[in-house]
Amino acid sequence: MASSTSASSPHRKLLRSLVYWAVQRCRMSESPCRLTVSVKRPAEAASASLLRVSVSDTGVGSKLEEFLELDVLARETPVEKWDGTLLITTTGRDIKCKIHQAGYHIQKSCNIQILILRAPNLACELFVEQIGNAESRNVRLPQDSDDVHHSVMASSSDRLVSGLKDYALSHGNTCDKCDTCILNRDLLKIGTGAANNVDRRKAKGLHVEVVIVIARTASDLCCWMVNCPSTQVLYFEDFVPCPISQSSFNVLVSTDWQSYGFKLKGGFIDDEGNAVLEWDSMTFARVDIAIHTYLECAMQDGQGSQQDRHLVRKALKSALSHLKANHARDFLSCHGQRVREYVPDLAESIAGLILSSNDKEFQDECITLLGLGSDQDSEGLVRSSICEKMVHIIELNDTKENVDDNAPYLFECEKLDEDSQLDEEYEDEDMVFDF
């Protein structure tokens, strides 16, 4: 849960937990699985402020820990009218767990945004339904069919990349109707990194995946917002968003960003547990970073990923090196950038020394060494040839430590606040859980 109009922590925790366990069940399933988040708002006057949210999936393998956690979270949730029934639906069978609580009554509206990583075998949908006689309508936001097919049927190395791309574009683009912005997807620069630690004795494999998406300067893109000087790092564990761990945050702020041309001004963890990095003299429109830590097998003992800062550091460095390997010119280290600034002057001096020499034989020799023809001895040509070669030397030296990276997973973002009517009638994110 990335953001909401107000911080209703107990409700968010409960919803996050519902989604978390649904995702884990789907991961355990060996067949394609569907996760549905359903939001229902009755139209009747008597319960006009009642909102029902349910999370259902077609996974398998419910566990006792799941219900114990839900029980604790339910007790933390302020309720006024609730009959104590929490309904969790799985394929072909209902499981009912009665919790003796008073009824729950929602006073205000709900505006929740859920960011879910798509795990293998998992298809997600958001279902919004208004129940009642007047103005009854259903809103379903299914995934694109090709995408659904692709993500459900096969593991793809581009899932996390694709998701973060969508996230970057949706947050950077301030124009809802400009179709050409869709094409800007290709203008984003991607760095991916991964690290894992498979412990055979315990049969426990911890994986860390990092994706960095860089958008070029705002002036390059027609509808782009102004340059964004900070980055909110998206942190996931086991395919579900959660607050970033202190150790992972420490890795972020202690990384040698200057080796890749970034200048980190500072960082902090905000009220919702998100890491925010602030940049100095940014040369890009925006930087988006996603970190995903997960265990190889879902529902294992020691549930929740083990925090291993070494793996996070390794994956982050791998992602940065990947960026540099593919775009050396754009991600020169700060040192490399400073050296590069001397290249035009150096080239001018060398070209001048060659062409102002009164030794014609020496001139011809140098021009031949540069790979230029005997008729290409203008100072401009000689200078640009030297410039180009020098820049190449600097870039080559700057990328000597490339690290291979592994396949990341994709990432998805969906919004609930697109329904304007919902916003008009409700002001906060109180919610009711239906039975």
Partner 1 sequence: MARREKRRGAPPLEGDEQRLRRRQEEAGLLLLRIRGLVRWVVEGVATGRSPSIVLHRYRNYCSAADAASPSHCDCSYDAPVGTDVLSLLHKDCHTSRLNVLLRVLLVVQQLLQQNKHCSKRDIYYMYPSIFVEVAVVDRAINDICILFKCSRHNLNVVPVVKGLVMGWIRFEEGEKKVYCITNVNAAFSIPVSIEAIKDVISVAQYILVVEKETVFQRLANDKFCERNRCIVITGRGYPDIPTRRFLRYLVEQLHLPAYCLVDSDPHGFDILATYKFGSLQLAYDANLLRVPDIRWLGVFTSDFEDFCLPDCCLLHLSPEDRRKAEGILARCYLHKEAPELRSELEAMLQKGVKFEIEALSASSISFLSDKYIPEKIKQGRHL
Least Å distance between CB 373 and partner 1? 14
Q: Which is nearer to partner 1, 298 or 386 (CB)?
A: 386
Least Å distance between CB 146 and partner 1? 44
Q: Which is nearer to partner 1, 210 or 394 (CB)?
A: 394
- Supply 115's token pair: 């960011």
Q: Which is nearer to partner 1, 141 or 350 (CB)?
A: 350
Least Å distance between CB 291 and partner 1? 33
Q: Which of 416, 274, 263 is nearest to 332 (CA)?
A: 263
**Which residues fall within 8 angstroms of residue 44, CB to CB, at 6 or more apart?**
132
Q: Which is nearer to partner 1, 293 or 333 (CB)?
A: 333
Q: Which is nearer to partner 1, 281 or 356 (CB)?
A: 356
- Supply 197's token pair: 């630690």
**Which residues fall within 8 angstroms of residue 302, CB to CB, at 6 or more apart?**
204, 295
Least Å distance between CB 119 and partner 1? 45
How many residues make up the chain in this entry? 435
Q: Which is nearer to partner 1, 71 or 388 (CB)?
A: 388
Give the helix/strand (H/E) hosting 159: helix 159-172
Q: Which is nearer to partner 1, 136 or 349 (CB)?
A: 349
- Site residues, partner 1 (CB under 8 A): 335, 338-339, 342, 345-346, 349-350, 352-354, 356-359, 362, 365-366, 369-371, 386, 389-390, 392-394, 396-397
Strands (E) across 200-329 are located at: 204-215, 230-237, 240-241, 264-269, 275-279, 286-295
Least Å distance between CB 371 and partner 1? 7
Give the HSE-up count for residue 257: Cα atoms under 13 Å, Cβ half-sphere: 17
Least Å distance between CB 390 and partner 1? 6
Least Å distance between CB 280 and partner 1? 18
Least Å distance between CB 261 and partner 1? 14
Task: Answer for the pair 210, 408: CB distance below 8 angstroms, yes or no.
Answer: yes
Q: How many CB atoms lie within 10 A of CB 144?
A: 9
**Which residues fall within 8 angstroms of residue 43, CB to CB, at 6 or more apart?**
130, 131, 132, 133, 134, 135, 136
**306: helix, coil or strand?**
coil
Least Å distance between CB 257 and partner 1? 18
The residue to which tokens 């030397």 are assigned: 393
Q: Which is nearer to partner 1, 289 or 382 (CB)?
A: 382
Rounded CA gap, 390 and 340, in Å? Answer: 8
Q: Which is nearer to partner 1, 365 or 425 (CB)?
A: 365
Distances (CA, A) of 409 to 85, 141, 293, 303: 35, 21, 11, 20
CA 377 to chain centre: 51
